[in-house]
């Protein structure tokens, strides 16, 4: 285990293939548990195990399914959690759906309840129709958020066909096509324990958790499931569109530019290394301590909402850089100019070392938060990455690594831009 973090992780895989992880933190008052499936909005096409049916499902169904999971035959499971004084929640991302709770008492009961409700699909026509109304309002809420639209449009520019270009929640139109039968098919395909992980952190004994999970499983008698066949469209490395602009009710233009990663196909440590390397590069060029940030900030071209990031998965990856600006074209030019000159001059070793230290510090301090550990453990796990490898991988990244990535990733032919401008 990571010595400077002083954490001890306990793990077990059950008969049905569920991976259970427990990280005891006895000095905390609470426990935080996440039950997550490797199924997200990008999994809109797959072969149903058993029947071999090739299914293409309505956009937004993974998210819809997440909402409906809370409904049980006896009512809403939120109520049961409330009675235990626990706070449940859930979220759907492009690649996984996660159900969680945090609580300071009744740990066993809350954990049992988490397993129970996620393992009990219950969908009726009436409740599906009712949920369409709620999710429509959720989608409308996001439609009113300019920054959400900004990113969505950038993804539509970067990707021709890959489902990452579709909003996680789908559209108001697409969710109308969701029905009970399809919900069950998606559930039975992706919610098998072999495709899932349970992560528990806080003041709890690992043996207690393993015992509870195994007892729960024994009462179910699940049959094993073959590997899930997911179907993704062929996506070229080229971008779809160079730019996209919309007019919304904003006071100042919002700008977001991105690069599409042509280097795809790896997960695990290779992906982790690539992710960290790319983030170090972005930090060196555009971070708060960079010469570019200071100059553009002083000039009033950007403000403190200026940010950047990299998102990497097995089959896709992209970075984003942007914020609010009164002159989007000028900002774009400055960013590309900075990349060109960094490629030409090379990276300053002092910047490289400083940024490595920053990321080390940020990661370690993140370990004060149970949510940070759980959320990142789970999302990394779905990419076959062990979060406890992070510090070592970060430490081992060399100047050569960042230089190679700098020269290969920032290809201007794979750059697209999204704009939101005032009406």
Partner 1 sequence: MNQGKLTMGFRTNTKYSDEDYYSLMVYNGILGGGSHSKLFQNVREKASLAYYAFSRLEKNKGLMIVSSGIDFDDRERAIEIINQQLEDIREGKISDYEFDSTIKCLVNSFKEAADNPAMIISLYLDGILNGVQRSTKEIIENLYKVTKTDVVNVAERICLDTVFFLNKK
Our measurement of the distance from residue 51's CA atom to the centroid of its chain's CA atoms, rounded to an integer in Å, reads 30
Residues 18-47, buried b or exposed e (16+ Cβ, 10 A)?
bebbbbbbeeeebbbbbbbbbbbbbbbebb
Q: Which two tokens stand for residue 162?
A: 């890959």
User: Are the CB atoms for 161 and 314 separated by under 8 Å?
Assistant: no
249 binds partner 1 (CB under 8 A): yes
Question: How far apart are the C-alpha atoms of 194 and 330, rounded to whole Å?
Answer: 50
Please state the closest distance from residue 39 (CB atom) to partner 1, in A.
22
143 binds partner 1 (CB under 8 A): yes
Angle at 349 between CA 345 and CA 355, to 5 degrees: 115
65 binds partner 1 (CB under 8 A): no
Please state the closest distance from residue 61 (CB atom) to partner 1, in A.
17
Pick from 124, 141, 337, 341 the residue near partner 1 by CB under 8 A.
141
User: Are the CB atoms for 131 and 68 separated by under 8 Å?
Assistant: yes
Count CA within 13 A, CB hemisphere, residue 93.
15
Nearer Cβ to partner 1 (223/368): 368
DSSP state of 176: T
Please state the closest distance from residue 141 (CB atom) to partner 1, in A.
5
Nearer Cβ to partner 1 (75/236): 75
Site string for partner 1, 93-132 (x = CB under 8 A): ---------xxxx------------------------x--
User: Are the CB atoms for 21 and 200 separated by under 8 Å?
Assistant: yes
Is 329 a catalytic site residue?
no
176 binds partner 1 (CB under 8 A): no
Length of the chain: 423
Region of 24-32, 187-195, 289-297, 328-336 interacting with partner 1 (CB under 8 A)? 24-32
Region of 8-16, 141-149, 226-234, 318-326 interacting with partner 1 (CB under 8 A)? 141-149
Please state the closest distance from residue 130 (CB atom) to partner 1, in A.
5
Pick from 45, 47, 87, 216 the residue near partner 1 by CB under 8 A.
87
171 binds partner 1 (CB under 8 A): no
Total site size for partner 1, rule CB under 8 A: 31
Nearer Cβ to partner 1 (131/351): 131
Nearer Cβ to partner 1 (87/194): 87
Question: How far apart are the C-alpha atoms of 50 and 184, rounded to whole Å?
Answer: 14
Cβ count within 10 A of residue 412: 9
* Bridge partners for 316 per DSSP: none
Closest CA to 278 of 313, 318, 238: 318
- Tell which positions 351-390 bind partner 1, by CB under 8 A: 368-370
Please state the closest distance from residue 25 (CB atom) to partner 1, in A.
9
79 binds partner 1 (CB under 8 A): yes
Active-site choice (2, 13, 45, 66):
66
Nearer Cβ to partner 1 (248/397): 248
Please state the closest distance from residue 104 (CB atom) to partner 1, in A.
4
Question: How far apart are the C-alpha atoms of 323 and 87, rounded to whole Å?
Answer: 33
- Tell which positions 313-352 bind partner 1, by CB under 8 A: none
Region of 73-81, 154-162, 204-212, 220-228 interacting with partner 1 (CB under 8 A)? 73-81
Please state the closest distance from residue 414 (CB atom) to partner 1, in A.
32
Q: The tokens 């070793």 sit on which residue?
A: 349
Region of 42-50, 74-82, 282-290, 413-421 interacting with partner 1 (CB under 8 A)? 74-82
Nearer Cβ to partner 1 (348/371): 371
User: Are the CB atoms for 60 and 171 separated by under 8 Å?
Assistant: yes
DSSP state of 72: E
DSSP state of 412: G
User: Are the CB atoms for 31 and 19 separated by under 8 Å?
Assistant: no
Give the distance between the most distant pair of CA atoms in the chain. 66
Question: How far apart are the C-alpha atoms of 292 and 298, rounded to whole Å?
Answer: 10
76 binds partner 1 (CB under 8 A): yes
Question: How far apart are the C-alpha atoms of 368 and 196, rounded to whole Å?
Answer: 26
Residues that bind partner 1 (CB under 8 A): 28-30, 76, 78-79, 82-88, 102-105, 130, 133-135, 137-138, 140-141, 143-144, 249, 368-370
Catalytic residues: 66
């Amino acid at each position: 285990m990571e010595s400077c973090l002083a954490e001890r992780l306990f793990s077990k895989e059950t008969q049905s293939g569920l991976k259970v992880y427990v990280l005891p933190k006895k000095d905390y008052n609470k426990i935080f548990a996440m039950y997550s499936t490797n199924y997200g909005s990008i999994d809109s096409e797959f072969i149903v195990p058993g029947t071999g049916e090739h299914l293409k499902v309505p956009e937004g169904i993974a998210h819809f399914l997440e909402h409906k999971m809370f409904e049980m035959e006896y009512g809403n499971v939120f109520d049961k959690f409330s009675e235990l004084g626990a706070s449940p929640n859930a979220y759907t991302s492009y690649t996984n759906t996660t159900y969680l709770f945090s609580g300071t008492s009744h740990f066993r009961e809350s954990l049992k309840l988490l397993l129970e409700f996620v393992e009990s699909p219950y969908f009726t026509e009436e409740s599906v129709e009712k949920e369409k109304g709620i999710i429509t309002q959720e989608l409308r809420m996001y439609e009113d958020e300019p920054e959400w639209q900004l990113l969505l449009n950038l993804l539509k520019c970067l990707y021709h066909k890959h489902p990452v270009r579709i909003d996680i929640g789908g559209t108001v139109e697409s969710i109308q096509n969701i029905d009970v039968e399809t919900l069950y098919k998606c559930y039975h395909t992706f919610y098998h324990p072999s495709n899932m992980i349970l992560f528990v952190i806080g003041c709890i004994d690992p043996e207690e958790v393993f015992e509870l999970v195994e007892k729960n499983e024994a009462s179910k008698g699940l049959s094993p499931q073959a590997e899930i066949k997911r179907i993704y469209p062929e996506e070229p490395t080229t971008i779809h569109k160079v730019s996209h602009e919309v007019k919304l009710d904003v006071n100042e233009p919002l700008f977001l530019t991105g690069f599409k990663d042509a280097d795809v196909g790896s997960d695990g440590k290779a992906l982790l290394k690539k992710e960290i390397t790319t983030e170090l590069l972005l930090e060196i060029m555009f971070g708060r301590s960079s010469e570019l940030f200071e100059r553009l900030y002083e000039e009033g071209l950007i403000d403190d909402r200026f940010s950047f990031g990299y998102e990497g998965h097995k089959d896709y990856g992209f970075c984003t850089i942007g914020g609010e600006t009164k002159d989007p074209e000028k900002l774009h030019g400055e960013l590309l100019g900075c990349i060109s000159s960094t490629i030409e001059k090379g990276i300053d070793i002092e910047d490289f070392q400083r940024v490595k230290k920053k990321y080390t510090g940020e990661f370690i301090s993140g370990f004060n938060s149970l949510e940070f550990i759980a959320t990142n453990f789970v999302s990394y796990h779905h990419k076959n990455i062990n979060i406890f490898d992070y510090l070592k991988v970060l430490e081992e990244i060399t100047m050569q690594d960042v230089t190679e990535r700098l020269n290969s990733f920032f290809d201007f032919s794979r750059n697209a831009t999204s704009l939101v401008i005032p009406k």
